[in-house]
Amino acid sequence: MLLKILSKSDLPDAVERLGQRYRIIAPMLHEGQTVFKELLPGDAPDMEYRTTPLPPKKALLPPREELIQLQSTNGESRLEPVLDVQPAVLLGVHTCDLHAIGLLDKVFTEGVPDQHYINRRRLTKIISLECLEPCSEHSFCKSMGTLAVPESFDLHLTDLGSDYAVEIGSKAGLNLLWKFFTIRDAGDDDYARLNKAMSEKWSRFNYRLDIDATELPGLMSLNYADELWEELGQQCLSCGACNLVCPTCFCFDVQDEIDVDLRSGVRTRVWDSCQLARFALVAGGHNFRIRRGDRLRHRFMRKGKYIQEMYDRPGCVGCGRCAQACPVDIKPLDVFNRLAAGHVNQSEMKKEAIV
Ligand code: SF4
Ligand code: SF4
């Protein structure tokens, strides 16, 4: 591992220099909570934050974004794609959110490539931050295998007290480091401090899922018809908050808005939620998931099975945001563990996972 050391006291200067070249999106204290936000000159990132209500996903897949502009003149219509051209740095991304971004990278590049996402992602450098403490009572990242950093960062920081250990993940990260940061080479002491921080970290996190995450797809298959879905459906308010806060949800709606002069317009993409009643409404007025229990089951099937099987990445990274946001306390950890409690036959689950 190529390791450099950045003194914490040098971070503000580095951020200021970066800000002259890049748009910086970072965790920031705002009205009593930490949110990912664009830094303005003089703003300081909150590098000690635990969690944020919305994930940093919003920097790459904005809640609302223009996709196409339409202009019509003299009977001729022109459609212009709208592509973000601003280079950006996404600073302070925790490991679970980095895993989620890794999933989005697959989703938006495989199959039908999404030029809007791909373009924004290409222009965005990621400086991630090692999680040394659980971020909330709801997180279960260790169980989901997302507590260790994946390789999709440009630079990765680990808090060593007065310094950060900086790991270089890409050539772009190396360039950032040389151009904008004041660093020194790591010595034996620094490697020892990093090893200590990392070994102490793991014991602070518990395995909270009662089965191995690799058994989740099989567990979900076995429980497709379980009565739990109907029970939870009775409680669910179909508010969609769980989807909106989730770093791995990527469903969206596309809307066309035409100006009153009928000569110009815009096509936008907005986040959507599979928990809303109209989500599965199709032509002819048919709704194929009209029941709340069915919609809830669909969400958990995606989190525990469908996404994993389709993209070979966890559909839930265990961040706990949906548990925090749900007004009726429907929590993924509880749901998975309740299902697991009813199915102790592990070999049966493994068999289902293969089918
Ligand atoms: S389902 Fe909940 S816990 Fe899992 S990644 Fe989404 S918001 Fe986080
Ligand atoms: S946040 Fe809770 S109540 Fe709202 S849709 Fe999700 S599970 Fe249902």
Question: Looking at the CA of 303, which ligand is closest?
Answer: 1
Give the whole-angstrom CA distance, residue 272 versus residue 183: 43
Q: What are the beta bridge partners of residue 54?
A: none
Ligand 1 binding pocket mutation candidate from 97, 220, 319 (most atoms within 8 A of CB): 319
> Which atom in ligand 1 lies closest to the alpha carbon of residue 323?
2
Ligand 1 binding pocket mutation candidate from 302, 303, 334 (most atoms within 8 A of CB): 303
Whether the pTM exceeds 0.75: the reply is yes
Burial zone of 145 (CB within 10 Å; 0-12 exposed, 13-18 middle, 19+ buried)? middle
| Range list of H helices, 132-249 | 141-144, 171-180, 188-204, 216-222, 228-235, 241-244
> Which atom in ligand 2 lies closest to the alpha carbon of residue 241?
1
Max Cα–Cα distance, the chain, nearest Å? 72
Dihedral class, residue 94 (left if φ above 0, else alpha if ψ from -120 to 50, else beta):
beta
Collapse the DSSP code of 78 into the 3-class scheme (helix H, G, I; strand E, B; otherwise coil) and give the result: strand
Give, using CA atoms, the residue closest to atom 8 of ligand 2: 236
* Angle between helix 171-180 and 11-21 (nearest 10): 110
Query: Token pair for residue 156?
Result: 């990765």
Ligand 2 binding pocket mutation candidate from 54, 244, 271, 275 (most atoms within 8 A of CB): 275
Per-residue pLDDT of the chain (355 residues; tens, 9 = 90+): 679 999 999 999 999 999 999 999 999 999 999 999 999 999 999 999 999 999 999 999 999 999 999 998 888 889 999 999 999 999 999 999 999 999 999 999 998 999 999 999 999 999 999 999 999 999 999 999 999 999 889 999 999 999 999 999 999 999 999 999 999 999 999 999 999 999 999 999 999 999 999 999 999 999 999 999 999 999 999 999 999 999 999 999 999 999 998 889 999 999 999 999 999 999 999 999 999 999 999 999 999 999 999 999 999 999 999 999 999 999 999 999 999 998 654 545 555 554 4
Q: What is the pLDDT of residue 170?
A: 96
Cα torsion 332, 203, 147, 159 to 10°: value is 130
Ligand 2 binding pocket mutation candidate from 231, 329, 330 (most atoms within 8 A of CB): 330
> Which atom in ligand 2 lies closest to the alpha carbon of residue 292?
8
Question: Looking at the CA of 237, which ligand is closest?
Answer: 2
Nearby residues of 179 by Cβ (< 8 Å), 6 or more positions away: 17
Q: What is the pLDDT of residue 355?
A: 46
Around ligand 1, the residues with Cβ closer than 6 Å are 245-248, 303, 316-322, 332
> Which atom in ligand 2 lies closest to the alpha carbon of residue 240?
5
Q: What is the pLDDT of residue 329?
A: 98
Q: What is the pLDDT of residue 350?
A: 53
* Residue the block writes with tokens 């003149």: 73
Around ligand 2, the residues with Cβ closer than 6 Å are 236-242, 275, 325-328, 330
> Which atom in ligand 2 lies closest to the alpha carbon of residue 329?
2
The ranges assigned to domains in the chain are: 3-63+83-204, 213-249+273-354
Query: Token pair for residue 284?
Result: 């002819």
Q: What is the pLDDT of residue 241?
A: 98
